[in-house]
Amino acid sequence: MTFEMSHETLYLAVKLVDHYLMEVICKRDKLQLLGSTAFLIAAKFEEPCPPCVDDFLYICDDMYKRDEMLAMENSILKTLQFDINIPIAYHFLRRYAKCVHASMKTLTLSRFICEMTLQEYDYVQERASKLAAGSFLLALYMKKLGHWAPTLEYHSGYKTSDLHPLVRQLNILLTLRSCNKLKAVHSKYSHQVFFEVTKIPPLDMLKLEEILNCC
């Protein structure tokens, strides 16, 4: 947010970290370097005017040297064989919202739900398209717009019933967010520019089951 980078850059950076860690063991004292360098690569890919290397070194409070970041960049790109055009959930959310003619508030709620998963290891293996569909479906239910579920099903290619386990999991994630020590996403979406969607309460589990059983 400080450098006014796009959501696409955030999602891609997280994906780069996930894919890299599937192949390489990274020492704990190098994780911040890995994350910052992944952001550097993602910014070069997504941003029209990406921040420079020195900006990312500054974010790390100058804990690392320029050569270290460039070496990490080289390591990430070689490990991933330069295949960094990775599908991200954010793109699918935008597509689904357009198909359903959703309001910006509903879309923003789905983005909040989806962005919460970036902090959770349980969602690393989830396909971007399915994660987006599950997040958007839960947002529809929370906004009492469940009648749009068939349209989402048609355009996403996922049966609503196949998304129900993921929807339950995401609703639990929202319910337990107060216990989460990582507050950045919640704080971000509590602002008026994001329609204060954090004030929309998650569904009661019994109510959610009632909705799912009717679908």
Going by pLDDT thresholds of 50, 70 and 90, the confidence category of residue 214 is confident
Which amino acid makes up residue 107? L
pLDDT tens track for 50-76: 999 999 999 899 899 999 999 999 999
Average pLDDT, the chain: 95
9 neighbors 42 (Cβ within 8 angstroms): yes
Closest to 132 in 3D by CA, of 115, 149, 151, 150: 115
Same domain for 105 and 208?
yes
Same domain for 56 and 101?
no
75: domain CATH number is 1.10.472.10
Specify the pLDDT at position 157: 97
* Residue 9 burial (10 A CB sphere; 0-12, 13-18, 19+): buried
Going by pLDDT thresholds of 50, 70 and 90, the confidence category of residue 2 is confident
Tokens of 57: 């070194």
Residues 6+ apart with CB under 8 A from 116: 170, 173, 174, 177, 185, 186
Considering its fold, how many domains does the chain have in total? 2
Among 79, 98, 119, the domain-final residue is: 79
pLDDT tens track for 158-201: 999 999 999 999 999 999 986 777 889 999 999 999 999 999 99
Q: What is the pTM of this model?
A: 0.93
